[in-house]
Amino acid sequence: MSHFLARCLFVCGTLWTLPNTLLGLTVWVTLAPWGARARVVTGVVEIAGAPVRGFLSRFCGGAIGLTLGQTVLSWTPATHARARDHERVHVRQYLLWGPLFLPAYCLASAWIWLRGGDPYHGNPFEKQAYAVACIDPAVDDGL
């Protein structure tokens, strides 16, 4: 694939998943007064801080990472680094699926749960991400 074509596809994906990215940026803006900080790493907005950890604990079962479009929420810069490869797979999934990603992800999890499976690890989006990079939340790195 030529560099120009790859660039065009990236721009199209960025626009296609913009609603998801805006959702992530909204979380950041909402939590910023309590200390959430953002930085751009390889074209992705990484958001971290104590309120982000609280948000993920409250709404995402204590996950160390949550990707929303081209934003990734995580506890600290260290957890971002640990989860980066995994979350970048989700970023690429968002670029492909755009606004259909979250409904598709939820429907896949619901279908797997209804069939008695693990709605997280059985989800094909997670299987693809874990095939690239596992995240071990039990690693004790002082978090």
Contacting residues toward Zn ion, per CB under 5 A: 126, 129
- Which residue number, 32 or 104, has a Cβ lying nearer to Zn ion? 104
- Which residue number, 29 or 81, has a Cβ lying nearer to Zn ion? 81
- Which residue number, 27 or 129, has a Cβ lying nearer to Zn ion? 129
- Which residue number, 6 or 106, has a Cβ lying nearer to Zn ion? 106
* Least distance between Zn ion and beta carbon 99 (Å): 19
Burial 38-51 (b: 16+ CB within 10 A, else e): beeeeebbbbbbeb
Strands of the sheet with 71-74, listed across from one edge: 37-41, 44-48, 71-74, 65-68
* Least distance between Zn ion and beta carbon 24 (Å): 15
* Least distance between Zn ion and beta carbon 20 (Å): 14
Measured from the Cβ of residue 126, the count of other Cβ atoms closer than 10 Å reads: 20
Residue of minimal CB distance from Zn ion?
129
* Least distance between Zn ion and beta carbon 15 (Å): 23
Instruction: Look at residues 72, 79, 88 and name the one whose alpha carbon lies nearest to residue 137.
Output: 79
